[in-house]
């Protein structure tokens, strides 16, 4: 009988130890899994946000007045780059810039986007905006690009016709940047949690499309202690949220705070600093 | 006995289950932790690599801007693309493409390509040379001008210059035109106080006289005689003091050569051809058939002593040299007594000063990442 009791005690001890270790390992696993998920969400935001924001030109109004807020940021993001090869007043023949490694991709330009044409004057240059109606593939050649090496920079084998809502004078040789309004926001979703989302402009409905989540969940964007955007001018002075004058913004920071863990109140954070390349 | 046997069997089952449970949990935990670490490492590596590549691509385009070769870029044909050597970078191959989009506008594309993994980033920077405003005339003078009967003034119709008077003259300067001259007098001359302003003569292509003197490609002593002509050996342009480039044959090896020539006092050109910018700190005499493309600034007047002179670009005549003793001229006037053609051309004037023009970023949307 004593042997049985001893065996059961030892068995219980071993089982308890195993359960304890196993439980701790399970908790560790859960923590690591959660942390991994948080890190991936933070990394996603850190990858996506700068793409839209780096190329902004605040001085030309790419950041909408009063729309640089701590919970949202409305901008004109550059979505395409090309060279005008010629064309009629309401249609431009364009050769897109090749992407990294010389890759060619379809233009994602749509009705309502804005094409900015660089006009090279005698004493200075200026960007002239025209509204885009549509783009379509077309054949032909780009006469303004005279040599074979241009094919390393421009997609001259896939030219596009860009139909415009406005008329332009002959613009052969003009560089074209195409922009589209977008709005990045920290928002509260239906599940009650906070996410970073992106809304693109719908020119037909003349409003932004439904927000699409980019990453999250994050700490509630309810002020200084939550996920938020911050803005600074070129000498490091803070530009207040909702400021009417956004032309002085030279740097955007996104403070990303993951949700606090329910077990140990810990959370991950990431500060994404984006220097605006076209601030002058 | 039977109770004892049951108890032993029960203990074995517990031990086996415990060990299996422990092993499974350990295996799952280890796998999950390893996976998490690998994913985190991969994610970090990807982010770091992307940032490094973007930084390298950025550095490449600004390197191209910093190491700008004005002469090579001035010679680059509009619409052409050249590959420029890029600085070496650890683990990254960088390539720079420079496309001349318009006479003034260049597109620089920098690409950084990771040697391992194959990831790459490409950025674009637009830069622009300072504008060369259309010359207010083929001849701008603060001093008196005498125009002979065989002098012709023409426009460069291929340069899209707007119509303007051929001569811009200081308000108080004298003008004598031979009555037999076949010149459209209605648009021959305009009098403007700007022609009396020293800045019109001492600032060339955005740079000041003294700075240009310091950086001159060719220096000539006072009272020098020169007969410039292109010098080509084995299809290579030989840069010597008598070689002022070749504006007459576009395919010539010396066609891209456009030197900045400085004469420290009076200068006599006994004929020849040349292009670029000619700064004369004294009186300029042209004593033989001479073809020139670019800008000429003479600080104590100009005189032609021979026929068959053709100058395209802009000619500027000021009224004082920097050293009075450097010139033996008795007059500062411009005397064009022989057959010559003066062509007002912003293109040729710009080409002449291109060797020292440095580009700057265009405004507002110069930079873009290419996807």
Cα nearest neighbour of B162 on chain A: A122
Query: Cα distance from B246 to chain A (closest Cα, Å)?
Result: 23
Whole-angstrom Cα distance, residue B38 to residue A125? Answer: 50
B-chain residues near A126 (CB < 8 A): 363
Count of alpha carbons within 13 Å of B178, Cβ hemisphere only?
14
> Which pLDDT band, with edges at 50, 70 and 90, does B272 fall under?
very high
The alpha helices in chain A, defined as continuous H runs, are 2-53
Judging by beta carbons within 10 Å of its beta carbon (0-12, 13-18, 19+), is residue B186 exposed, middle or buried? exposed
B80: nearest CB among A40, A149, A277: A149
B20 touches chain A (CB under 8 A): no
Cα→Cα distances B216→A271, B38, B199, B278, B292, Å:
51, 61, 19, 9, 18
A104-108, B29-33, B79-83, B180-184: least confident range: B29-33
Q: Look at residue B91 in the predicted model and tell me its pLDDT.
A: 83
Q: Which residue has the higher pLDDT, B70 or B364?
A: B364
Whole-angstrom Cα distance, residue A106 to residue A102? Answer: 13
Q: Look at residue B2 in the predicted model and tell me its pLDDT.
A: 47
Whole-angstrom Cα distance, residue B1 to residue A21? Answer: 36
Cα nearest neighbour of B23 on chain A: A22
- For B366, phi then psi, to 5°, come to -70, -35
Q: How many CB atoms lie within 10 A of CB A157?
A: 11
| Cβ-defined contact of A152 to B32 (cutoff 8 Å) | no
Q: Which one of B56, B99, B110, B120 makes the best mutation probe of the A interface by having the most chain A beta carbons within 10 Å?
A: B99
User: Is there a contact between B74 and B98 (Cβ–Cβ < 8 Å)?
Assistant: no
Query: Cα distance from A123 to chain B (closest Cα, Å)?
Result: 5
B1 touches chain A (CB under 8 A): no
Q: How does pLDDT run across B25-36, given as a tens digit for each residue?
A: 778 767 876 776
CA nearest to A245, candidates A63, A53, A71: A63
| Cβ-defined contact of A100 to B122 (cutoff 8 Å) | yes
| Cβ-defined contact of A153 to B40 (cutoff 8 Å) | no
Q: Look at residue B1 in the predicted model and tell me its pLDDT.
A: 44
B214 touches chain A (CB under 8 A): no
Those residues with Cβ within 8 angstroms of residue B33's Cβ, 6 or more apart along the chain or in another chain: A28, A29, A32
Helix B2-66 vs helix A2-53: crossing angle, to nearest 10 = 20
> Which pLDDT band, with edges at 50, 70 and 90, does B43 fall under?
low
Whole-angstrom Cα distance, residue A156 to residue A97? Answer: 9
Percentages helix, strand, coil for chain B (3-state, rounded to 5) are: 30, 35, 40
Q: Which residue has the higher pLDDT, B329 or B267?
A: B267
| Residue bearing tokens 């010139």 | B327
Judging by beta carbons within 10 Å of its beta carbon (0-12, 13-18, 19+), is residue B289 exposed, middle or buried? middle
Q: Look at residue A209 in the predicted model and tell me its pLDDT.
A: 93
CA nearest to B93, candidates B61, B116, B109: B116
| Residue bearing tokens 């220096």 | B219
CA-based angle B293:B277:B314, to the nearest 5? Answer: 55
| Residue bearing tokens 């002979």 | B148
> Which pLDDT band, with edges at 50, 70 and 90, does B325 fall under?
low
Q: How does pLDDT run across A35-89, given as a tens digit for each residue?
A: 778 888 888 888 889 988 999 999 999 999 999 999 999 999 999 999 999 987 8
Whole-angstrom Cα distance, residue A78 to residue A175? Answer: 13
| Cβ-defined contact of A173 to B122 (cutoff 8 Å) | no
B-chain residues near A36 (CB < 8 A): 36, 39-40
Q: Look at residue A193 in the predicted model and tell me its pLDDT.
A: 92
Whole-angstrom Cα distance, residue A173 to residue B170? Answer: 39
Whole-angstrom Cα distance, residue B293 to residue A136? Answer: 45
User: Maximum distance among all alpha carbons in chain A?
Assistant: 107
Q: What is the CA radius of gyration of chain A?
A: 27
Q: What is the mean pLDDT of residues B121-125?
A: 95
User: Strand B360-361 relative to strand B334-336: parallel, antiparallel, unpaired?
Assistant: unpaired
> Which pLDDT band, with edges at 50, 70 and 90, does B14 fall under?
low
A152: nearest CB among B81, B102, B124: B81
Q: What DSSP letter does each residue of A195-216 carry, written as one string?
A: EEEEEEEETTTTEEPPPEEEEE
Q: How many CB atoms lie within 10 A of CB B258?
A: 28
pLDDT at A117 over 50: yes
> Which pLDDT band, with edges at 50, 70 and 90, does B357 fall under?
confident
A-chain residues near B367 (CB < 8 A): 54-55, 277-278
Whole-angstrom Cα distance, residue B278 to residue B292? Answer: 10
Q: Which one of B45, B46, B79 makes the best mutation probe of the A interface by having the most chain A beta carbons within 10 Å?
A: B79
> Which pLDDT band, with edges at 50, 70 and 90, does B52 fall under?
confident
Q: How many CB atoms lie within 10 A of CB A126?
A: 14
3-state secondary structure of B54: helix
B-chain residues near A153 (CB < 8 A): 81, 97, 99, 107, 109
Query: Cα distance from A26 to chain B (closest Cα, Å)?
Result: 7
B16 touches chain A (CB under 8 A): no
The length of chain A is 280
Q: What DSSP letter does each residue of A241-254 carry, written as one string?
A: TT-S--TT--EEEE
Q: How does pLDDT run across A141-190, given as a tens digit for each residue?
A: 999 998 889 999 999 999 999 999 988 886 788 999 999 999 999 999 99
B-chain residues near A32 (CB < 8 A): 32-33, 36
In chain B, % of residues over pLDDT 70: 88
Cα nearest neighbour of A126 on chain B: B363
| Cβ-defined contact of A126 to B365 (cutoff 8 Å) | no
Token pair belonging to A76:
């004109």
A173: nearest CB among B101, B131, B133: B101
Q: What is the mean pLDDT of residues B14-37?
A: 74
A103-107, B102-106, B137-141, B321-325: least confident range: B321-325
Whole-angstrom Cα distance, residue B232 to residue B240? Answer: 11
Q: Look at residue B261 in the predicted model and tell me its pLDDT.
A: 96
B54-58, B322-326, B331-335: least confident range: B322-326
Q: Look at residue B47 in the predicted model and tell me its pLDDT.
A: 64
Query: Cα distance from A21 to chain B (closest Cα, Å)?
Result: 8
- Single pTM value for the model: 0.77
Give the ipTM.
0.89
Cα nearest neighbour of A175 on chain B: B101
């Amino acid at each position: 009988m004593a042997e049985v009791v001893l065996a059961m005690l030892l068995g219980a001890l071993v089982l308890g130890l195993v359960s304890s270790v196993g439980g701790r390992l399970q908790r560790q696993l859960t923590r690591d899994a959660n942390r991994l998920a948080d890190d991936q969400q933070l990394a996603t935001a850190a990858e996506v946000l700068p793409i839209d924001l780096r190329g902004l030109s605040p001085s030309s109004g790419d950041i909408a007045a009063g729309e640089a807020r701590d919970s949202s940021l409305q901008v004109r993001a550059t979505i395409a780059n090309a060279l005008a090869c010629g064309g009629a007043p309401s249609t431009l023949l364009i050769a897109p810039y090749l992407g990294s490694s010389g890759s060619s991709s379809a233009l994602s330009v749509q009705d309502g986007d804005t094409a900015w044409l660089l006009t090279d004057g005698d004493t200075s240059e200026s960007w002239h905006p025209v509204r885009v109606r549509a783009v379509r593939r077309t054949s032909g050649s780009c006469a303004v690009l005279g040599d074979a090496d241009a094919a390393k920079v421009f997609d001259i084998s896939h030219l596009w016709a860009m139909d415009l809502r406005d008329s332009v004078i002959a613009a052969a040789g003009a560089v074209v940047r195409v922009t589209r309004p977008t709005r990045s926001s920290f928002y509260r979703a239906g599940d009650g949690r906070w996410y970073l989302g992106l809304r693109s402009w719908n020119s037909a409905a003349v409003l932004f499309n439904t927000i699409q989540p980019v990453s999250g969940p994050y700490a509630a964007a309810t002020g200084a202690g939550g996920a938020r955007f911050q803005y600074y001018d070129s000498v490091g002075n803070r530009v207040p949220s909702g400021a009417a004058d956004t032309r002085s913004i030279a740097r955007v920071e996104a403070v990303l705070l993951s949700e606090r863990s329910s077990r140990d109140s810990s959370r991950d954070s990431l500060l994404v600093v984006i220097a605006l390349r076209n601030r002058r | 006995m039977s109770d004892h046997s049951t108890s032993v069997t029960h203990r074995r089952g517990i031990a086996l289950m415990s060990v299996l449970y422990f092993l499974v949990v350990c295996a799952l935990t280890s796998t999950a932790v390893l996976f998490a670490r690998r994913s985190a490492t991969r994610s970090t590596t990807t982010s770091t690599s992307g940032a490094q590549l973007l930084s390298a691509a950025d550095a490449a385009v600004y390197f191209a801007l910093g190491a700008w070769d004005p002469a090579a870029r001035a010679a680059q044909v509009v619409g052409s693309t050249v590959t420029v050597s890029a600085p070496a970078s650890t683990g990254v191959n960088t390539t720079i493409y420079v496309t001349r989009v318009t006479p003034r506008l260049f597109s620089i594309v920098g690409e950084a390509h990771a040697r391992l993994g194959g990831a790459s980033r490409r950025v674009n920077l637009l830069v622009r040379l300072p504008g060369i405003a259309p010359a207010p005339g083929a001849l701008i003078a603060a001093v008196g001008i005498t125009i002979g009967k065989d002098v012709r003034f023409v426009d460069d119709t291929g340069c899209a210059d707007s119509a303007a008077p051929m001569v811009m003259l200081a308000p108080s300067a004298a003008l004598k035109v031979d009555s037999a001259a076949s010149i459209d007098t209605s648009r021959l001359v305009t009098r403007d106080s700007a022609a009396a302003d020293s800045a019109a003569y001492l600032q060339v292509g955005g740079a000041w006289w003294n700075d240009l003197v310091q950086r001159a490609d060719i220096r000539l002593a006072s009272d020098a005689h020169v007969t410039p002509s292109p010098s080509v050996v084995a299809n290579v342009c030989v840069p010597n003091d008598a070689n002022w480039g070749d504006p007459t044959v576009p395919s010539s090896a010396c066609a891209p050569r456009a030197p900045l020539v400085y004469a420290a006092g009076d200068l006599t050109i006994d004929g020849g051809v040349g292009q670029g910018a000619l700064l004369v700190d004294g009186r300029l005499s042209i004593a033989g058939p001479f073809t020139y493309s670019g800008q000429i600034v003479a600080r104590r007047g100009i005189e032609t002593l021979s026929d068959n002179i053709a100058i395209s670009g802009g000619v500027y005549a000021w009224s004082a040299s920097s050293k009075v003793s450097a010139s033996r001229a008795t007059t500062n006037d411009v005397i064009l007594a022989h057959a010559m053609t003066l062509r007002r051309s912003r293109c040729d004037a710009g080409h002449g000063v291109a060797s020292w023009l440095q580009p700057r970023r265009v405004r507002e949307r110069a930079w873009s990442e290419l996807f």
